[in-house]
Copies of this chain bind each other. A is one copy, B any other.
Amino acid sequence: MPIIVDKARKRREILEAAMRVFSREGYHRAKMEAVAEEAGIGKGTVYEYFKSKTDLFLALHDHMLAELKAFYMKELEGIRQPAAMLERFIAVAFQTFRLWEPFFLVFFDYWAEGGRGEQQTLLQTRLREAYAVARNDVAAIIAAGVKDGSLRCDNPLLAAASILATLDGLVLQWLCDRDAFDLDAMRESLTQTILRSLQP
Q: Which residues of A contact B (CB under 8 A)?
A: 2, 23-26, 28, 42, 104-105, 108-109, 111-117, 124, 127-128, 131-132, 135, 154-155, 157-159, 161-162, 164-170, 172-173, 175-177, 180-182, 185-186, 189-190, 193, 196-197
| Across-interface contacts of A176 in B (CB, < 8 A) | 111, 114-115, 124, 127-128, 131
Min CB–CB distance A100 → chain B (angstroms): 13
Q: Is the CB of B186 within 8 A of A197?
A: no
12 contacts between A and B (CB under 8 A): A104-B115, A111-B112, A114-B176, A128-B176, A128-B177, A135-B180, A154-B189, A158-B185, A161-B173, A161-B180, A162-B190, A165-B170
Q: Is the CB of B105 within 8 A of A108?
A: no
A contact patch SS: helix
* Pick from B104, B168, B186: contact of A169, CB under 8 Å: B168
* Pick from B115, B116, B158, B182: contact of A172, CB under 8 Å: B115
Min CB–CB distance A107 → chain B (angstroms): 9
Q: Is the CB of A172 within 8 A of B180?
A: no
Residue of B nearest to A113 (CB): B26
| Across-interface contacts of A175 in B (CB, < 8 A) | 115
Residue of B nearest to A186 (CB): B158
Min CB–CB distance A129 → chain B (angstroms): 9
Interface centre among A154, A165, A167 (most CB of B within 10 A): A165
